Structure 1
């Protein structure tokens, strides 16, 4: 990965937190925030039974976490650029408080309030942690840090359903929330240990109205998808109404951003193809993977007849695949280029998903293991997407850039569950109507959902080859024959409007940085 030229010397020589400290915080925060996305699924029946809540309310136990997280993360990036570590520490405190409220909840209302608090807090602590990768680590360690982050996310993604089932089966579901504290409290201590010497503060305006508009729009659109997946008794006006209202709010947000003097996403971040392209790839990857992971324990319980603790256990294979492949990611990216590594990684994920769909008709666990291993290993090689995108943002925008990347990943989680869920429920209803037993119908719906996820990974792999590909230049226009194309790409996203004195109209000079 190549840092922005003017920042490289500064980053390498400025004192600050030790890399080991930063990597530890990255791993802690990445694991616990991702775990909260998945651990609730296997424990959901126990929660519903103890609190006496129905399926619709139960779904919002997950949604109440994911949507504030996704919708507020852009605002959080601006706040982080203004306040730095103070915002990160406040977010960690609110997250821990929300976990305590959830664990102590005796009804649906405090549970949903606690989950919302956790989602709001996650919107600050996740980009706050990613921001450390850009502001605290030297260039040579960023690929390792991004791989560590991805490994923590994948481990939480894979272990969450299993842990949720085990905890609810042998302890009590409240401990899936109290269990956050052993991760959050050490992170607070570690962040407090050092003070960054390069934590430059921004004076960007905090636009709360824009954040509320995008969050409300996302809530309405997700509600439309969830309602559509549950609607089995004919057409309903609620689905198009929610969808139209959500789309209008999001359109208003986009128009407001274009007219705002201080938009949540600075236009300079969206110039070029690397940063926007990275966000597209994160969306496609998450749309496929998140929905599959969410429905896998359900299929294992219903179709294979496993208990809650065992049903999520095969997903540990995914975490093993990520862990085994992670040490190879950095060297591979340096040797073959980010675009090739990411494209191949997404292709391996697609291959694993196609394999999973092919063996899903077999009512056994063992045939699924190779496919799950491929999904994990391929996902590890998507890690450079994040560090590559951060390397193509200015250090002053590190918090905002991290927020945009996190929003893309979290949006993909929320919509991935809803989209794959829509496919699963549609096929399920059709198969039951034609006489299939419910477990077999659910398995058929899952197969179709996995195939959709695999197709999304194929699309992402093709796009990665072009979106992350280094800029090719004419050597005659630059007086060089074999200059590093990644270094030139960092130079080519000039932060100023006027063109530099370079013959190539698409180029900008190093002095701009």
Structure 2
């Protein structure tokens, strides 16, 4: 649990910690809003593009091996980010971080799915969600403190000792696992088409280049055709036949799109419109951390007891309510009156949503496809965040080529929260219509039976090998 939480945590941390550091990076490196967007999105483009490949490679070569290799590569990329002298090189280093993260993130959940007993998985995933969520939520506070006390470069250099712990502890304590049904050669055409299609479509969206975006969509369509005809595809399309799996991923897209856009803008609003220091802006989100720490594990246990349908419906409603309350955040307002109430409601909805959502995604797919299922869900959440942040200039009415602040920034933030709340409400409706209350119980029962069958086969084989042969006896003739 320590290794999986810490490993996925550094990847999640770099998705949020960068937000509070962006204003300082922009001043020191003379970056426009588009430049700041690319510093955030350079990481997300490669992460979203390759995360399916990372999950599939882990299933094939060994989840422990790929996970630890991703942690080492992430540390190296973080060092490059910390040493970057200008915006272009920082964007390149962030892209390399995304590549490493694509092999790191799917492995964390896949290792939990294949290590913990079916009866304990929901609680384990709840603990993982809460602890990993803490690393995400604490990112702005930690980033603000590092920016103010030292330099924005330490936001990235902090990953080095954390990755070292992941590698040392993981090498000693993690068990290796892989998908035993994988045969034949790796699906290199599928991997190339999937990565290229995701990269081109997201790049086209960010740059508002219609031609590149359409090319990306065409490549993704080709990817689906190739995977349907490949004997051993990187992405088994059969997992989407599960209504639970498809519905949970649709909810993931809605929730994480709104979440990414709001958290990206909130840090800018607090610093550039309300006058908060980097440390104060980071400290403003500490209630998010406290709520996640206190309630995420209980949320996972609740979903195991009553089913995920109700929490996955009420949770997005709470997130949307928190976004509506953020409309009260304005210049001249106070933290206790405007910011804190919105964050408390927002975090309550987030706690109800994350653990049941993650458990449902993994429960709806076969355990042998744990890496791919985790990769799909992570790709959906990253792509959702990428699309949301890339579309902010259009939604909020910003000029991407110029710096934004003051009332313009606040007005754009309000528009983005309204759109985000609407998107999250769609997610709540999808959860209510597609998710079954017994999906976790059914999955636990199926996995337990599979484990019993496997144990029985192993016992029978062991008995046949170790027991002496029964002497042949001649049967007496029948009278």
Q: Normalising to structure 2: TM-score of the pair?
A: 0.85
* Deviation for aligned residue 1:362: 6.2
Indicate whether 1:88 and 2:67 are aligned: yes
Alignment match of 1:348 (pick from 304, 318, 322) = 318
Indicate whether 1:321 and 2:299 are aligned: no
Alignment match of 1:453 (pick from 420, 427, 439) = 420
Alignment match of 2:340 (pick from 349, 369, 376) = 369
Structure-1 separation of matches of 2:195 and 2:20:
27
- Structure 2, unaligned stretches of length 5 or more? 448-479
Alignment match of 2:101 (pick from 116, 119, 122) = 122
Corresponding residue for residue 92 of structure 2: 113
- Which deviates more, 185-194 or 57-66? 57-66
Structure-2 separation of matches of 1:302 and 1:107:
22
Structure-1 separation of matches of 2:442 and 2:133:
32
Corresponding residue for residue 159 of structure 2: 180
- Which deviates more, 313-322 or 152-161? 152-161
Indicate whether 1:283 and 2:263 are aligned: no
Whether the 8 Å contact between 1:352 and 1:373 is mirrored in structure 2 is yes
Alignment match of 2:200 (pick from 205, 216, 220) = 220
Report 1:16-165 matches (<5 A).
23-51=1-29, 54-84=32-62, 85-165=64-144
SS in 2 for 1:381: helix
Structure-1 separation of matches of 2:290 and 2:71:
28
Structure-1 separation of matches of 2:405 and 2:155:
29
Whether the 8 Å contact between 1:158 and 1:315 is mirrored in structure 2 is yes
Whether the 8 Å contact between 2:109 and 2:374 is mirrored in structure 1 is yes
Task: Indicate the structure (1 or 2) with the bigger Cα radius of gyration.
Answer: 2
Report 1:488-503 matches (<5 A).
488=442
Structure-2 separation of matches of 1:440 and 1:397:
49
Alignment match of 1:263 (pick from 209, 221, 233) = 233
Corresponding residue for residue 236 of structure 1: none
- Which deviates more, 277-286 or 384-393? 384-393
CA deviations on 1:310-334 (whole Å, 9 max, x unpaired) are 1232222222222222242133213
Distance change >3 Å, CA 490–CA 163, structure 1 → 2: closer
CA deviations on 1:45-66 (whole Å, 9 max, x unpaired) are 4334444555434432222211
Whether the 8 Å contact between 1:78 and 1:204 is mirrored in structure 2 is no
Q: Normalising to structure 1: TM-score of the pair?
A: 0.79
Q: CA RMSD in A?
A: 2.7
Corresponding residue for residue 454 of structure 2: none
Structure-1 separation of matches of 2:356 and 2:157:
33
- Which deviates more, 294-303 or 202-211? 202-211
Structure-1 separation of matches of 2:68 and 2:356:
27
Structure-1 separation of matches of 2:334 and 2:280:
13
Corresponding residue for residue 443 of structure 1: 410
Distance change >3 Å, CA 226–CA 485, structure 1 → 2: closer
Structure-1 separation of matches of 2:390 and 2:72:
30
Structure-1 separation of matches of 2:357 and 2:425:
16
Corresponding residue for residue 405 of structure 1: 377
Corresponding residue for residue 215 of structure 2: 245
Structure-1 separation of matches of 2:123 and 2:218:
41
* Deviation for aligned residue 1:130: 0.8
Structure-2 separation of matches of 1:359 and 1:410:
27
How many residue pairs get matched? Answer: 441
- Which deviates more, 241-250 or 397-406? 241-250
- Structure 1, unaligned stretches of length 5 or more? 1-22, 229-238, 471-483, 494-513
Distance change >3 Å, CA 92–CA 438, structure 1 → 2: closer
Corresponding residue for residue 362 of structure 2: 390
Structure-1 separation of matches of 2:373 and 2:207:
33
CA deviations on 1:451-508 (whole Å, 9 max, x unpaired) are 11111111111111122124xxxxxxxxxxxxx6754578899xxxxxxxxxxxxxxx
Structure-2 separation of matches of 1:38 and 1:422:
22
- Which deviates more, 139-148 or 117-126? 139-148
Corresponding residue for residue 279 of structure 2: 309
Whether the 8 Å contact between 2:5 and 2:108 is mirrored in structure 1 is no
Distance change >3 Å, CA 153–CA 444, structure 1 → 2: farther
Whether the 8 Å contact between 2:65 and 2:176 is mirrored in structure 1 is no
Structure-1 separation of matches of 2:382 and 2:418:
21
SS in 2 for 1:304: coil
SS in 1 for 2:232: coil
Structure-1 separation of matches of 2:174 and 2:271:
48
Alignment match of 2:242 (pick from 272, 275, 278) = 272
Structure-2 separation of matches of 1:163 and 1:175:
10
Corresponding residue for residue 303 of structure 2: 333
CA deviations on 1:161-215 (whole Å, 9 max, x unpaired) are 3332332222112211110012211111121113527655433643344333333
